[in-house]
Amino acid sequence: MSDVVSYQIVDNIGVVSVNSPPVNALSQKVREGILSAVTAAQGDASEAIVLRCDGRTFIAGADITEFGKPPMAPGLPEVLSAIENSSKPVIAAIHGTALGGGFEVSLACHYRCAIASAKVGLPEVKLGLLPGAGGTQRVPRIAGVKAALDMITSGNPVSAKTALGMGLIDEVISNDDLQAGAVQYAKDLVASGAPLRRIRDITIDPATVEPGFFDAARKKLAARARGAIAPDKIVSCIEAAVELPMDKGLERERELFTELVTSPESAAMRHIFFAERLAAKIKDLPKDTVLRDIKKVAIIGGGTMGGGIAMCFANVGIPVVMVEVTDEALQRGLGIIKKNYSITVQKGKLAEDQMEGLLGLISGTTDYNDIADVDMVIEAVYENLELKKQIFAKLDGVCKQGAILASNTSYQDIDQIAAATKRPQDVLGLHFFSPANVMKLLEVVRGEKTADDVLATSMAIGKKIQKVCALSRVCYGFIGNRMLGGYGRESQMLLMDGCLPTQVDSALEGFGMAMGPLAMGDLAGLDVGYKARQGRTDLPDDPKLYRMGTLLVEMGRHGQKTGAGFYKYDPETRRRLADPIVEGMIVDESNKLDIERREIDNEEILARCLYPLINEGALILEEGIAQRSSDIDIVYVFGYAFPAAKGGPMHYADHVGLKHVYDKMCEYRDLYGEQYWKPAPLLKELAESGKTFAQWDKERGAS
């Protein structure tokens, strides 16, 4: 039929097989192949048609690489019409993940069967899109409006069992051989005279949707949209499924899909999809690097961080030993882990016996000799270089040869830590983000002497514990924290120049950050930055610099943990509230410094907070700290809640134009001084040549 779609008749059933690795995405060739197979089957001796896939999964969606390029016939709607209008029943046989356009293909079939481990879903929203091949019209017709809305706006797939309960599939096949099971299911349908069931023929009674349902959904989704525009349009499509006939609903869906596929938001989210996969690839590492076996892990330090990291490993079945200095500290650490799991049990997301199983994987000790047999150690004690060096010297003494020795440090020099051992090739940084069992990012820090297989193994283990890994070289703060410097500084400078905390934070939250920088400071603890500044000799002697942060700490306002910082916090709800005391102080302090306060608009707030971050990113790139600009985007989206709909700071900079960013940097340099506003040479070079960071990546073979 074609090199990606084949057709044969098995036991009177026409079997269409898609074989287009890695995920059988609906490329032009696959669409064409399915269309000709289904068309050919109309005139042959087959009694029904089974649509199945080879390889690891059923069709996982449209081919994302085709978006933004001129459309190529046949379009997906044409393929779906051919299936739906087939004179013989078409049955989708699902394994792996039937996602997006793949699931929509199955919804155009007359029946769907799946193996128990299969999942189905419409994840388009995660790419800034909506299902564009009838998903928004067909799912509400069979699963109901509310279930459809939840499924399509969350983008989360459901298991075969759940899908069966929702009516999204008709049969779970118990036969290990899906093709044989599906052929038998097709024969049974034919034998029982099952009709050509078309989802399009179902109508939804508008009276079954409670008044105000769609408005309420829009409001709820807007509150958590963070710059994404797809969720609102998904609501419009589902509304159309209720109010309009099928073909009109499909037209509406297509129109809104087309709007989204050309939007900068979707371009940004598709960039993140590919950047996430690219970040896992280390440019200069041989593909055939043999990985070390990681069967048991030790965590040094039973604090919040150590406990969270231990949970990550236990969650994927890897036994963990937690090491603490005293038995009391150890019991406290193990107790926190138990409490965290219990909360998940209370929420109904974990069964009691599963929790016991997980806790059974986590043991504790106060004796380093007990970790002689582990394959990987992650040190997670507080930030003190001398202490970390002592610990690594001790680990060098007890750990077996070949064990990977990692530090979870956020700032310290991995090479100095490695030098405390006689095996620096086994040492690297694995920087988790708090809470470690929740946050997706893992910065993998490559020391001067880190061995290739240590890096490759760490990237693989990061993926196994379900983290998104990004590689960094050694520098103060690595990629993420190093870039935060100017962002935090300017958020406070703006207060002195005319803003109040709510204004700064709402501008950044309006942009899509999960939390504004000042509220973030309150959450992390203002004393943390205060203490870090005490030890620094490189900061300019400027009374304006971090003035409010310093004064607040000295007043005992350390942020959320003391109930007050830039904001005050409702003791019951922990909601942040503007504090007139702080607002008054801000105005007084500006006056003391003879600063004439002025109106500052959101555009300036965004530029002053985000452009220093981007500028530092450019320095990080030219110094070779990050492999590529898209890795920096991954660090920010997964570690610092930068909005995916903006694609990360470097993609955002490409979008607004590097010339604009550079010009603004120069404008602020002339206003506020070069000690704060010094454009990176790479930013200048790209701005002058009219290039983007993405082009720079490409020219270096990094993308």
Binding stretches for ligand 3HC (CB under 6 A) = 22-23, 25, 57, 60-65, 76, 97, 99-101, 104, 123-124, 127, 129, 131-133, 135, 274, 277
Q: Which is nearer to ligand 3HC, 277 or 660 (CB)?
A: 277
Query: In 3D, which of 479, 464, 280, 473 has the Cα closest to residue 376?
Result: 464
Q: Which amino acid is at 551?
A: L
Pairing state between β 13-18 and 5-10: antiparallel
How far apart are CB 506 and ligand 3HC at their closest, in Å?
32
Which of 121, 75, 82, 115 shows the shortest CA–CA distance to 100? 121
Q: Is 124 a catalytic residue?
A: yes
Quick check: 66 and 100 in contact, CB under 8 A?
no
Q: How far is the CB of 65 from ligand 3HC (least distance, A)?
A: 5
Q: Can you tell me the distance from the alpha carbon of 139 to that of 141, in angstroms, rounded to the nearest whole number?
A: 5
* Residues 108 and 84: beta-carbon distance below 8 Å: yes
Residues 6+ apart with CB under 8 A from 19: 4, 5, 6, 53, 54, 55
Dist CA 403 CA 297 (whole Å)? 9
- Whether cis (ω within 30° of 0) applies to the bond prior to 206 is no
CA 206 centroid distance within chain: 36
Give backbone dihedrals phi and psi of 462, rounded to 5 degrees, phi first: -60, -45
304 or 703: CB nearest ligand 3HC? 703
Q: Do 101 and 61 touch, CB atoms closer than 8 A?
A: yes
Closest distance between ligand 3HC and the C-beta of residue 213, in Å? 24
Question: Strand 404-407 vs strand 427-432: parallel, antiparallel, or unpaired?
Answer: parallel
- Nearest distance from residue 275's CB to ligand 3HC, in Å? 10
The kind and range of the H/E element at 328 are helix 327-346
Our CB check for ligand 3HC shows the closer of 257 and 569 to be 257
3-state DSSP assignment of residue 169: coil
Parallel, antiparallel, or unpaired for β 320-323 and 362-365? parallel
Cα–Cα distance for residue pair 563/569, rounded to 1 Å: 5
Beta strands in 47-89 (DSSP E): 48-53
Smallest separation, CB 357 to ligand 3HC (Å): 25
Q: How many residues in total does the chain contain?
A: 703
**CB distance 575 to 456 below 8 Å:** no
Is the CB of 132 or the CB of 643 nearer to ligand 3HC? 132
Closest to 240 in 3D by CA, of 229, 254, 230: 254
Nearer to ligand 3HC, 257 or 487 (CB): 257
Of 23 and 682, the one with the shorter C-beta distance to ligand 3HC is: 23
Sign of CA dihedral 423, 425, 426, 432: positive
Quote the least distance from Cβ 556 to ligand 3HC, whole Å: 48
**Of residues 301 and 647, the one with the C-beta less far from ligand 3HC:** 647
Strands 441-446 and 427-432: antiparallel
Instruction: CB nearer to ligand 3HC: give 26 or 336.
Output: 26
Least gap, CB of 157 to ligand 3HC (angstroms) = 8
Smallest gap from residue 2 Cβ to ligand 3HC (A):
18
Q: By C-beta, is 149 or 618 nearer to ligand 3HC?
A: 149
Beta-bridge partners for 121: 99
152: closest CA among 274, 238, 267?
238
| Minimal distance, residue 155 CB to ligand 3HC, in Å | 8
Rounded Cα distance between 1 and 40, Å, is 10
Query: How far apart (Å, rounded) are the C-alpha atoms in residues 603 and 287?
Result: 45
State the distance between the two ends of the chain, measured CA to CA, in whole angstroms. Answer: 34
Report the alpha-carbon distance of residue 89 to residue 370 in Å, rounded.
Answer: 63
Number of Cβ atoms within 10 Å of the Cβ of 501:
27
Q: Which is nearer to ligand 3HC, 199 or 374 (CB)?
A: 199
Name the active-site residue from 104, 265, 379, 490: 104
Q: Whole-angstrom Cα distance, residue 131 to residue 101?
A: 7
Question: For ligand 3HC, which is the closer residue by CB, 131 or 643?
Answer: 131
Give me the least distance between CB of 441 and ligand 3HC, in Å please: 17
Per-position DSSP letters for 628-679, written without gaps between them: -HHHHHHHHHHHS---GGGT-HHHHHHHH-HHHHHHHHHHHHHHH-TTT---
Q: How are beta strands 158-159 and 171-173 bridged, if at all?
A: unpaired
For the CB of residue 629, give the shortest distance to ligand 3HC in the complex, in Å.
17
Q: Which two tokens stand for residue 387?
A: 């202490």
d(CA 673, CA 527): 27
How many Cα atoms within 13 Å fall on the side-chain side of residue 563? Answer: 4
Q: How far is the CB of 246 from ligand 3HC (least distance, A)?
A: 17
- Nearest CB to ligand 3HC, comparing residues 122 and 508: 122
Inter-CA distances, 600 with 259, 475, 494, 613, Å = 33, 34, 8, 20
Give least dist CB 28 to ligand 3HC, A: 12
Which residues are within 8 A (CB) of 223 and not within 5 positions of it... i.e. 6 or more apart?
none
**Whether 623 is catalytic:** no
Catalytic residue among 47, 66, 78, 124: 124
Compare residues 274 and 476 and give the one whose CB is closer to ligand 3HC. Answer: 274
Q: Active-site positions? A: 104, 124
